[in-house]
Amino acid sequence: MEKDGLTIVYTGKGKGKTTAALGIALRATGYDKKICMIQFIKGSWHYGEMDSSKLLEPKFEMITVGKGFVGIIDDKSPKEDHEKIAKEAVKVSSEKIQSGKYDIVILDEINYAVNLELITVNDVLDLIKSKPNKVDLVLTGNYAKDEVIEIADLVTEMREIKHPFQKGIKAKKGIDF
C-alpha cells in the first residue's frame, strides 16, 4: 500500500527530537518542498533555529506560538495562559495543515503540551486524522501518548545514554539551543 503523507513521531527522554525534525526540514528544502514548523512550548528563550530558519525562507516557515517553557525557573505565567496559547497553537496547526501550502508540517513539542495537560490527546489525534493525504506530519516531544504512537507511521524514541549535563557541562550554543 502506497501512502503519500506520513505521520512521524520523535519522542523519548533523550536529546534530538526537534533536531531530527529540523533535519527533515533541511533535507526537504533541498527538494523544493514547503515546510511549516509550529512550536508549542518554546517561545521566551532565544535559540539558534529562530535565526537559521530565516535562511531557509521562503521554503521553511517557523511559527513560535508557545509562551515559553512551562513551570521552569523563569516561568511566571499561570497555567491557564499556557493552556490558552497551546489551544491557539492547535488552531494555527490545523489551518497550516489544511492550507494546501505545505508538504510537511512539524508540530514541535506537541507531545509535551499534551503531557502538561495544555491540550488533549484528542486534539492531536484530530490533527493527524484530518490531515490531507499528501501532507507529511512530524510530531515531536517527550511523552508521546500510546494513541498517537498507534496511529503514526514512523515512531522513533530518543533514549539518553550519556549527557554532558551529568558532568556539570552547561548547554552549548549550536548544540543544545
Work out the angle at residue 140's Cα, subtended by the Cα atoms of residues 53 and 137, and round it to the nearest 5 degrees.
Answer: 80
Q: Give 51-71 pLDDT, tens digit per residue.
A: 888 889 999 999 988 666 555
Q: Is the dihedral of CA 145, 146, 152, 157 positive or negative?
A: positive
Residue 45 banded pLDDT, cuts 50, 70, 90:
low
The rounded distance, in Å, linking the Cα atoms of 105 and 96 is: 7
- Identity of the amino acid at 102: Y
Identify the pLDDT of residue 166: 82
Residue 174 lies in a domain: no
Residue 25 lies in a domain: yes
Residue 139 lies in a domain: yes
Q: How many domains does the chain have?
A: 1
Identify the pLDDT of residue 44: 58
CATH of the domain at 120: 3.40.50.300
Global pTM value: 0.91
Residue 161 lies in a domain: yes
Taking all residues of the chain, what is their mean pLDDT, rounded to a whole number? Answer: 89
Residue 109 lies in a domain: yes
> Could you tell me the three cell numbers for 152?
503514526
Residue 84 lies in a domain: yes
The rounded distance, in Å, linking the Cα atoms of 105 and 87 is: 17
Cα-based distances in Å from 45 to 41, 129, 138: 10, 32, 23
SS3 36: strand
Domain hosting 137: range is: 7-167
Residue 2 lies in a domain: no
Kindly give, in sequence order, each residue whose CB lies less than 8 Å from that of residue 110, ignoring residues fewer than 6 positions away. 40, 89, 93, 119, 124, 139, 140, 141
Q: Give 95-113 pLDDT, tens digit per residue.
A: 999 999 999 999 999 999 9
